[in-house]
Structure 1
Amino acid sequence: MDVHLNCWNETDELKCVVVCGPSEIEVPDQQTADDVQWEKPVSQNKARENHHIMVSAMEQEGVKVIDYSDYLSTKDKMLHLQLINRVFVRDLGCVFGNELLPGEAGTSMRRPEYVMSHILFNKWFDSSSFPIEANNSANALEYGDVLILNKDAVFINTGLRTSMESIQKMKEQIFKAGFSEIGVIDLPRRGDTMHLDMNGNVVGKNLFLAKSYMRFFPVQVINDRREHYEMMEQFLNRHGFEVIWSPDVKPDVRDTVANINFLNLNPETLLISSKVNKKIFSHHPELKKKKLIEVDVAELEKGGGGIRCMTLPFERRS
């Protein structure tokens, strides 16, 4: 794969991203949706239309989009097409600097995606770029819980799908990749707080948009010398970020996904859901300058994830 792994933050110009098209299996009724922990029933035909719209919007902005399922073997595809959560690729891995680190599924339902994608990534990249065995001692580490703030710091949530034990076991890999500090927050374990990027997101080079309740949570700061605690705003301020506290929204997955789970295409442009409450982007003069590209991903969002969840950046250029 002719890709130069390079991600040192969330806002540099996105040049290459990995996605995966939706499953072929319908989620036909509300009882089934509840059983698989989705918000609502989903028509996969509509979901595929949504996905095509999202991919096209990124390609029109000059982003190279790779659907990794296109590269799976015929045998693997037979199973992979039936995995309803496969569209949420963000959790599978994360590029820290120039190194792609593998994740570890926090629920058994998603483990096949991790295995198949990691075997594929292992074919694309050498062991120095993708150390496939780095997650061997991890028990739960989904990268929707990770935000790369800058070349110094990474922000991680330990909660419903990511364990503190896994973070401790992966921290040396993150430091080795070039980062010097990890801030760990422990958010409530609910469906609407499943991952960090459902509650906060980098929205500019020095801006962080967060749900207002997060101001009450301390952050465990880890570096190669010691560990200590700071409040969330103090931690982010120290790394050059101003925190914008978003208006309170209902503890509902739909609201969480639409309002927080967006993707930075470059420092000036956000790819957002058409269901977003645009008032969120009117609370700061810098946000008012943003170019907002809206896409209809409503059918995909019923699965409990948004645009950021469905995109895995491989390359960003400053």
Structure 2
Amino acid sequence: MNLHPNCWNEYSELKSVVVCSPSLLDVPDKKIASYVQWEAPVNHKKAIENHEHMVNGLKDAGVNVVNYDTYLSAEDLVLHRQLINRVFVRDLACVFGSCIVPGEAGTTMRRPEYVTSHLLFKDWFDEKTFSIKDNNQSKALEFGDVMVLNKDAVFINSGVRTSIDSIEAIKEQVFHAGFSEIGVIDLPRRADTLHMDMNCNAVGEGVFLAKSYMRFFPVKIMMQGASKYMMMEAFLNRHGYEVVWTDEITHTVADINFLNLNPETLLISTKANKKIFKSHPKLKKKKLVEVDVDELEKGGGGIRCMTLPIERR
């Protein structure tokens, strides 16, 4: 694979991204959707059309899109095509600088896709870049809970799907990758706070959009050999971000689960509440590229959840 992992923030020009096409199964009714913790029934044909819209939006922006399930064996695909959450690739791994750290599923339902994708990544990357053993001490580590702020700091939520023990287990890998601080927040355990990126997101350089309730939460700052506490806004200010607090979130996934294509451009859902992007002078300048992912969002994840950035310029 001609992929060169390099991610030091959430907003530099996106060059390469990994995705996975949706499952071939329908989620036929509200009762089953509730059992699998989805928001609504999903038609797989519509979901596949939505995914193609998203992939085309990425390609139109000049991004190299790698659909990892096209590299799986026929034997692996028998099971993999039936994994309804497989489209949410963000959780599988994270590029910290030039290293890729594998995640660990926070629910048993998602474990098969983690194993399958990690075995594939093992073939794609050398041991120095990606070690399949690096999650051996992790119990629950889903990277929808991680924001790479800049070359100094990352921001992680210890919540429903990511444990504090797992954060402790990977912190030396993060420091070794070149980062000096890990900010850890502990958000409420609720369906609408499943991952950090359902509550906040970096909006280009120096602007961070967050639900207003988060202003009340302290952040534990882990450093090599030390730690301290700071409120969330102070932590983000410390790393050059102005926080835009918002109460305008009407759809948790569509509104805030967007992807930075470059410092000026966001890939957003057609369902997103665009009033959010008019609430601050810097946000008004953003170019918004809209794609219809409504059917996919019924699974409880959005555009950011469905994309795993590998390389940013």
Question: Fold match, TM over 0.5?
Answer: yes
Q: Deviations over 1:266-312 (max 9, x none)?
A: 00000000001001001111111110000000000000000000000
Distance in 2 between residues matched to 1:275 and 1:213, nearest whole Å: 23
Distance in 1 between residues matched to 2:106 and 2:4, nearest whole Å: 28
- What's the secondary structure of 2:133's corresponding residue? helix
Structure 2 counterparts to residues 296-311 of structure 1, below 5 A: 296-311=292-307
**Which residue is equivalent to 2:267?**
271
Structure 2 counterparts to residues 253-264 of structure 1, below 5 A: 255-264=251-260
Moved over 4 A (4+): none
Q: Which letter maps to 1:9?
A: N
- What's the secondary structure of 1:172's corresponding residue? helix
- What's the secondary structure of 1:134's corresponding residue? coil
- What's the secondary structure of 1:118's corresponding residue? helix
- What's the secondary structure of 2:290's corresponding residue? strand
Match of 2:279 among 283, 290, 295: 283
**Which residue is equivalent to 1:13?**
13
Q: Which letter maps to 2:209?
A: L
Distance in 1 between residues matched to 2:124 and 2:167, nearest whole Å: 25
Structure 2 counterparts to residues 99-248 of structure 1, below 5 A: 99-248=99-248
Q: TM-score, normalised by structure 1?
A: 0.98
**Which residue is equivalent to 2:79?**
79
Q: Deviations over 1:27-75 (max 9, x none)?
A: 0000000000000000000000000000001001100000000000110
Q: Which letter maps to 1:154?
A: V
Distance in 2 between residues matched to 1:69 and 1:266, nearest whole Å: 26
Distance in 2 between residues matched to 1:13 and 1:256, nearest whole Å: 25
Unaligned runs of 5+ in 1: none
Structure 2 counterparts to residues 53-92 of structure 1, below 5 A: 53-92=53-92
- Between the two proteins, the alignment pairs up a number of residues equal to 313
Q: Which letter maps to 2:300?
A: G
Q: Deviations over 1:166-225 (max 9, x none)?
A: 000110000011101000000000110000000000001100000000000000000002
- What's the secondary structure of 1:133's corresponding residue? coil
- What's the secondary structure of 2:233's corresponding residue? helix
Q: Which letter maps to 2:264?
A: E
Q: Which letter maps to 2:16?
A: C
Q: Which letter maps to 1:85?
A: N
Distance in 2 between residues matched to 1:226 and 1:175, nearest whole Å: 13
Q: Deviations over 1:129-149 (max 9, x none)?
A: 001101001000000000000
Q: Which letter maps to 1:52?
A: E
Q: Which letter maps to 1:308?
A: R
**Aligned: 1:313 with 2:306:** no
Distance in 2 between residues matched to 1:49 and 1:249, nearest whole Å: 26
Distance in 2 between residues matched to 1:316 and 1:248, nearest whole Å: 30
What's the CA shift for 1:244?
Answer: 0.3
What's the CA shift for 1:248?
Answer: 4.6
Q: Which letter maps to 2:285?
A: K
| C-alpha contact (below 8 Å) 2:183/2:220 kept by paired residues | yes
Match of 2:291 among 292, 295, 300: 295
| C-alpha contact (below 8 Å) 1:212/1:248 kept by paired residues | no
Distance in 2 between residues matched to 1:220 and 1:133, nearest whole Å: 27
